[in-house]
Structure formats: C-alpha cells, structure tokens
Structure 1
C-alpha cells in the first residue's frame, strides 16, 4: 500500500471518528433534555396548573401569547435592547481587555475597579441608573451593558496576558513592530478568549435585559412576565422563561460557530 493511500485512509477515518463523536455528543444532549422533560411532566401530573404547570401547559400558554399578537412585538423590543447593550459591551470590553493585556501598568491601574464592579450586584445599581437616566430605553441598555462588559473584558485580558512570551520574543528578534506583534501574534492568540468572553457575556446580557424590563420599566417581555404574574398565570411566566432560554442557546451557538470558523488554528476555549 502506497504512503499516499495510507494517508488518505487515515484522514478519512479521522473524519469519520470526529463526526461520530459529534453525533454521540448530540444524542447524549437530546437524551438528557428528554429525561428532564419526562421528569418535569411526571412531577407536574398531580399538581395544579397554577402551581406547577406541565410542558404542554407551558407550550399552550406560549401559543396563546403568540396568537394574541403580543409576543412578537415584545420580543423585537427586547432584542433591540439586548443587541445594542451587548454590542456596546463588545466594542468597549474587547479593546479594553486587549489594552490591559499588553500594558501591565494599565492592567494594574484598572484591575481593582474592574474586579470590584464585576463582583458588585448590578441589580443594586438599578436605582442609581433610574435616577440618572429615568425609566428609559437608554437606562435598560445601560443595564445590559453593565451585565455583559466585565466577562468580555476579563476574558479578553486573560487571553492577551497569557500570550506565550516565546512567540513574542521570536517576532521581536525579527524586528517586528508593536503593531505587527499585536495584529499577528496577540490578536490571533486571543480570539478564542474573546469569543469565550462573548459567549459568557451574551448569557449575562439576556439576564440584564429581562431584569431591566422588570425593574426599570414594564416593557416588552418583562411586561408580559409581570402581566402573567399578576394573573397568577405560572405557565405564562414559564413560557417567557423558556423563550429566553432558547434565545440564549441560539446566541451562544452562533458565537461558538463563529469562533470555530474564524479561529480554525486555535483550540476552542470551553466556558
């Protein structure tokens, strides 16, 4: 058997095994979800709907909310708040994290503030945000921004800070400029960390969005949760929660695939 043929067979087998691992992981996830749904339904069997609704009750509530024409406009309004706040967190957090990773003095100066704000309960700052910005769209965007930015900044900073010095030293030995090192060494190494921070940040952004719509002003999906709560409609509340969970999974999946597409040379940073 020729060497070329052996290499071709090896590549084919590696592809088959790789696809098999993905398929097994997908099936395991689906089985886990199915078990969770069955356990939920089993527990809800003899419980009143207003206390612990089953999955069919939750899906029925979601279909009613859709049929009444309130769900889609509310979802669009919530997504507008979410995407704007998250976008601002990315365009501020990524450059800030990269700058801190490449400048130890800047990192030493900003780390105490970032770490302190990261552990601070953002919900406790909502009254201050309302006092400054009122019950406005801008205030809701600010809450989403604060929920997302610290994960993005800290993860980006850690990636830039841990760039192997030997690679940077090799680039310097060939006379590479600081800009070249940033563009060709630090940034490619840091991209998986940036996307990992974005995946963490988008989950936090969804939480910030719904918190802002519940506390700052009853708007969009937050208003639907409040209405269902006031009507003691637990299924209606859980239907919105289910929608938010699906939204978070979709956004995380999109960012994961974007990371795999844009950084094929790097191993994925799991979060």
Structure 2
C-alpha cells in the first residue's frame, strides 16, 4: 500500500501483488493521509481564523471587513433566496461559452503554428502584438462592436483565454525532446503518425498549463466585464453590493468566485491527469 507522490492526489493506491510486511503499522497510512490533508489546508484555515478574529478584536474595522462567520451567514441567506445561484449561473454560462471558444480556436491553431516553423516565423510578430494587449483595455472596443449584451462579454473572455492556450500549445509542440523525434523517425513513422504518437502526447503538459491559465483568466476578465452593462452575474452582484454598501453580500460574491476558480482549476488538473496517463509517476 503506497501513497501517490502527486501532492494534489490523496488517493491510496492498493497493489494486489504487494503483501504488507509483518512490521507494517496499520495506522501509518491514515497518519500520512492526515498529514497531507493538514499541509494542504493549514494556510487556508489560518487565513479564515484571522478573518474571523481580527475584525472581532477591533484590529480592522468590521464595517469594511465583517467577520468570516457573518459573511458565510449572508452567503447562506443568498443561497436560500436563490440569488447567488442565479448570478453564478449567469456568470458560468458566459465563462463556459468564452472558454470553450478559446479552446476551439487556440488549440488547433497552436498545433498548426507549432508544427510549421515558417508559419510560426510569419505570425510571431502579430501574436506578440496581440498577446501583449490587455484584454480589459479592449473591453470598450468589444462593447462598441458587439453591444452591451452577452456577445461582448463572451467575446472578451474568448480573447483573454485564447492567448495562453495558443502560445503554450505552440511552445509545447516546438519544445518536444529532439531525441524522441529522432527515435520515432528511425522507426519509420510518417509525419502524421509522428505528430499523433509523439508530438501531441509530449506536448500535453505544456498545453494544459495554458488551458489552466486560461481558466483563471476567464473568471477575472468576466467579472470585470460584468461591471459594465450587466443585469446579472457575480461581477454585477459585487458591484451592486458595493454601491449599496452591502459589504457582506459583496464578500459573499467574492468567496463564490474564489471557490469557482479553485473548482475549475481542480477539474482541469483531473482532465490533464486523464490525458497524461502515459507518463510514468514516481512510486507507480
């Protein structure tokens, strides 16, 4: 019985062909799992304790930073009323649409650019220009062209997300170990098979780094976009609460965004592990 070395995976791997030795202590594995859970949660727990204690002790003004328990009470109230779910649903629809479009555009385009060096040389100046143009700086342009409706919000999310996906895909394809390519060519693999069996699998870690960055960008950019002309969404909720000095509601919206961001990242990590099973892991 062993523990996987991946710090994001606390699963216990049981091997049928391994029999525990006589001196094995039955409580060793649960203890190691508890220690791993503690290491992963201690920083967040300390933050929440400080959030609860400091306002109550008068170190910070509780008018502007209410105790964590009061914020959670307000969040639960919004949940029971259905408000937080309605705003979350509106934001997730926009985020999902923009993120999916970015993957559909950035991934195949990055594979093509990375596979053809001459095309990369031609397009690189243009890519550098656009990737260094902040998405939020172009928000007025999207609003002017697409209006204040859903199209502008989805468009700005797509623009923000496509660049990390595109550039990391290009980098992943172009930085594959040359020894792998030489070995594959020596075995007589054609170019399409070489791309399918060697280039693409070896690029997966770098590609998913870009996809995870895009997931984070999608939330940040969308919240900013929802401050302009939105009638629903977590960004609208936060802005409305701040304007009406409903501080607890404002923090409830912020917490919801943080939880969604963590959830999206963990989901993408799980998908990455699913597509990276071919890689050997220590202790396996």
TM range (shorter): 0.7 to 0.9
Given that 2:234 and 2:257 are in contact with CA atoms closer than 8 Å, whether structure 1 keeps it comes out as no
Runs of 4+ in 1 over 6 A off after TM superposition: 16-22
Given that 1:206 and 1:248 are in contact with CA atoms closer than 8 Å, whether structure 2 keeps it comes out as yes
- Bigger shift: residues 140-149 or 214-223: 214-223
**2:192 aligned to which of 160, 179, 185:** 179
Once the 2 structures are TM-superposed, how far is the Cα of residue 170 of structure 1 from its aligned partner? 2.2
Greater helix share, 1 or 2?
1
Q: Is it true that 1:33 corresponds to 2:44 in the alignment? A: yes
**1:165 aligned to which of 175, 178, 181:** 178
Q: Is it true that 1:24 corresponds to 2:35 in the alignment? A: yes
**2:95 aligned to which of 76, 82, 87:** 82
Change (3 A) 1:34 1:265: same
Distance across 2 between alignment mates of 1:171 and 1:19: 44
Once the 2 structures are TM-superposed, how far is the Cα of residue 141 of structure 1 from its aligned partner? 0.3
Q: Specify the alignment match of 2:252 in structure 1.
A: 239
Once the 2 structures are TM-superposed, how far is the Cα of residue 236 of structure 1 from its aligned partner? 1.1
Q: Secondary structure at the match of 2:227?
A: helix
Once the 2 structures are TM-superposed, how far is the Cα of residue 43 of structure 1 from its aligned partner? 2.0
Once the 2 structures are TM-superposed, how far is the Cα of residue 237 of structure 1 from its aligned partner? 1.1
Once the 2 structures are TM-superposed, how far is the Cα of residue 23 of structure 1 from its aligned partner? 5.2
Once the 2 structures are TM-superposed, how far is the Cα of residue 174 of structure 1 from its aligned partner? 3.0
Change (3 A) 1:267 1:121: farther
Given that 2:88 and 2:234 are in contact with CA atoms closer than 8 Å, whether structure 1 keeps it comes out as yes
**2:111 aligned to which of 98, 106, 115:** 98
Given that 1:139 and 1:216 are in contact with CA atoms closer than 8 Å, whether structure 2 keeps it comes out as no
Change (3 A) 1:158 1:21: farther
Once the 2 structures are TM-superposed, how far is the Cα of residue 138 of structure 1 from its aligned partner? 0.9
Gaps of 5+ in 2: 1-16
Once the 2 structures are TM-superposed, how far is the Cα of residue 228 of structure 1 from its aligned partner? 0.5
Once the 2 structures are TM-superposed, how far is the Cα of residue 216 of structure 1 from its aligned partner? 4.4
Given that 1:171 and 1:181 are in contact with CA atoms closer than 8 Å, whether structure 2 keeps it comes out as yes
Distance across 2 between alignment mates of 1:71 and 1:60: 13
Q: Specify the alignment match of 1:115 in structure 2.
A: 128
Q: Could you report, residue by residue, the CA deviation over 1:85-140 in whole angstroms, capped at 9, with x for unpaired residues?
A: 00011111111221122111121222222222222221111111111000011110
Given that 1:50 and 1:233 are in contact with CA atoms closer than 8 Å, whether structure 2 keeps it comes out as no
- Bigger shift: residues 126-135 or 18-27: 18-27
Q: Under a length normalisation based on structure 2, what TM-score does the superposition of the two structures give?
A: 0.83
Q: Could you report, residue by residue, the CA deviation over 1:52-95 in whole angstroms, capped at 9, with x for unpaired residues?
A: 11101211221222233222122111111000100011111111
Q: Is it true that 1:261 corresponds to 2:239 in the alignment? A: no
Q: Under a length normalisation based on structure 1, what TM-score does the superposition of the two structures give?
A: 0.87
